Amino acid sequence: VLSLVGQFLEYIDERLRIISVEDETTALNQIRTDPRIECVLSDYRMPEMDGLTFLAHVRAHCPRLPFILYTTHGDDAVVAEAIRTG
């Protein structure tokens, strides 16, 4: 689903460049080393960690980087925790 969202975003605005990675470790390394990254779009369900844990790792390195957490399986507790985490 996220790859489709990325393709759609690039389609509606040609200025956007979407970088997709296959795992959380690669994503964190990319975020830490690529100054062109201006926003993170992440799924909640991932193989190595959940989206909230991933968000906490991103916040530790980039506290002001916009972060969009996408899920089809969320509930109010997930939403509340995501807001608290940032």
Structural domains present in the chain: 19-85 (3.40.50.2300)
Chain segment 30-72, per-residue pLDDT in tens: 999 999 999 999 988 888 899 899 999 999 999 999 999 888 7
Angle in degrees, CA 26, 79, 72, rounded to 5: 70
At 79, the pLDDT band (50, 70, 90 cuts) reads confident
- How many of the other CB atoms lie within 10 Å of CB of 70? 14
Residue 63: predicted pLDDT: 94
Chain segment 19-32, per-residue pLDDT in tens: 888 889 999 999 99
Q: Secondary structure of 58-81 in the HEC alphabet?
A: HHHHCCCCCEEEECCCCCHHHHHH
How far is residue 18's CA from residue 6's CA, in Å, rounded to a whole number? 6
pTM of the model: 0.80
Q: Which residues lie closer than 8 Å to 39 by C-beta, 6 or more apart?
A: 65, 66, 67, 68
